[in-house]
């Protein structure tokens, strides 16, 4: 989907974030709202050789995997006017060029009663992407995250900030995949610190 196709005839656009966008959007927006999308589960199955890792030791970041019985919580950002072009240009580099993500339009359901769903743009890394790593145990993923670092910072920071967002903004949601990887990564870090 090209940016001009996404914004054609629109005065505003919602962008759904479920990874680092929830705590580091780095673009101007009109407003944000916590909520969820249906039919997808968040998984640390995508490799990152730029932001949170490198070619020798890629980090692990989240993508969405289709699953009719699941939902993924995050934040949607409404951008309008010149913010639309600016945010899409920025996200194209951050998510598509450097991350290998593709875009899709999904229904976003804002948290709270009497809220109607809105169409939102989401970035998804698919299994045919060269950086896609696929499933692994929480222990394997946690160990990889504990020792990876990229140009944006430690992979562990990405994991911990995402877990903190879920605890503070979505305390009613149990994200077993996320929290089991967090526990595994922190165990590896404690061993590494003890070994020094």
Helix, strand, coil: what percent of the chain each, to 5?
35, 35, 30
Q: How many residues does the chain have?
A: 196
Say if CB 154 and CB 148 are below 8 A apart: yes
Closest residue by Cα to residue 6 from 63, 65, 79: 79
Burial 139-166 (b: 16+ CB within 10 A, else e): eebbbbbbbbbbebebbbbbbbbbbebb
Which residues are marked as active site?
95
Give dist(CA 157, CA 145) in Å, integer: 9
Tell me the C-alpha distance between 155 and 146, whole Å: 7
Whether residue 4 contacts residue 64, with contact meaning beta carbons closer than 8 Å, is answered with no
Both structure tokens of 170 = 């979505």
Per-residue exposure over 85-98, b if at least 16 CB sit within 10 Å of its own CB, e if not: eebbeebbebbeeb
């Amino acid at each position: 989907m090209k940016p001009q196709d996404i914004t054609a005839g629109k005065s505003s656009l919602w962008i759904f974030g479920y990874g680092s966008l929830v705590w580091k959007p780095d673009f101007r927006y009109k407003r944000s709202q916590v909520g969820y999308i249906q039919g997808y589960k968040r998984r640390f199955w995508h490799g990152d050789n730029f932001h949170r890792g490198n070619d020798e030791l890629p980090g692990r970041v989240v993508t969405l995997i289709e699953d009719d019985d699941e939902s993924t919580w995050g934040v949607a950002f409404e951008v309008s006017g010149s913010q639309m072009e600016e945010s899409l240009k920025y996200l194209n580099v951050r998510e598509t060029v450097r991350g290998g993500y593709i875009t899709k339009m999904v229904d976003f359901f804002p948290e709270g009663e009497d809220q109607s769903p809105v169409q939102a743009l989401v970035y998804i890394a698919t299994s045919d992407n060269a950086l896609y790593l696929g499933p692994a145990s929480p222990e394997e993923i946690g160990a990889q995250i504990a020792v990876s670092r990229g140009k944006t910072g430690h992979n562990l920071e990405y994991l911990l900030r995402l877990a903190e967002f879920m605890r503070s903004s979505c305390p009613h949601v149990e994200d077993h995949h996320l929290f089991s990887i967090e526990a595994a990564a922190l165990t590896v870090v404690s061993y590494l610190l003890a070994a020094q």
